[in-house]
Amino acid sequence: MNLSKLGLDDVDVALMSLLQKDGRLSNAKLAEQVALSETPCWRRLKRLEADGYIEGYQAVLSRKKLGYGVLAFVQVGFGSHIGDAPLRFEEQVQAIPEVLSCHNLTGECDYLLQVVAEDLEAFGVFVRDVLRELPGVSSIRSSLSLREVKMSGRLPVGRG
């Protein structure tokens, strides 16, 4: 993607790339790495944040160290799309911490969820007591991750 079309220059792209790698970089370190003084660097960061290119900062936690041994991809189907069931489903899924992501899809299923659980038993209870109770849900198909090959939220900024 040509980011210059969005009004971003090489310094903006470098700042975003550096922050994706290490969100804890100080303004002084960022300024040094992009060859700016601290004040202009800080202003650029604030502009990138205000314009919505940088949505926030967070730590990446270890799922396994925290005891979530199961990562599942759950396909959710609806029997009917009439009424407000899809909207109520989307609102309720927002509040479920075990659901890491939820995507409304085209194709055979209506939603794809990424879900964590401590173990298979906990996942089974979650499906039975939480997912099956959500509005509109008529079918659930799960695939369990055997091994995580790559996990990243980093976007490919800086590629021409």
Instruction: Quickly list DSSP for 23-51.
Output: TT--HHHHHHHTT--HHHHHHHHHHHHHT
Q: Quick one: which H or E segment has residue 142? A: strand 137-144
Residue 70's domain comprises 61-142
Q: Which two tokens stand for residue 121?
A: 């038993």
CATH classification of the domain holding 39:
1.10.10.10
pLDDT over 50 at 160, yes or no: no
pLDDT tier, 82 (very low <50, low <70, confident <90, very high otherwise): confident
- Look at the chain and report how many structural domains it folds into: 2
CATH number for the domain that contains residue 136: 3.30.70.920
**In this structure, what token pair is assigned to residue 113?**
């969820």
Is the CB of residue 100 less than 8 Å from the CB of residue 115? yes
Tell me: the pLDDT tens digits for 26-51? 999 999 999 999 999 999 999 999 99
Q: Are residues 98 and 133 in the same domain?
A: yes
pTM of the predicted protein model: 0.86
Two tokens at 138?
């008529």
Residue 159 — very low, low, confident or very high, per pLDDT cuts 50/70/90?
Answer: low
Q: Establish if 160 belongs to a structural domain.
A: no
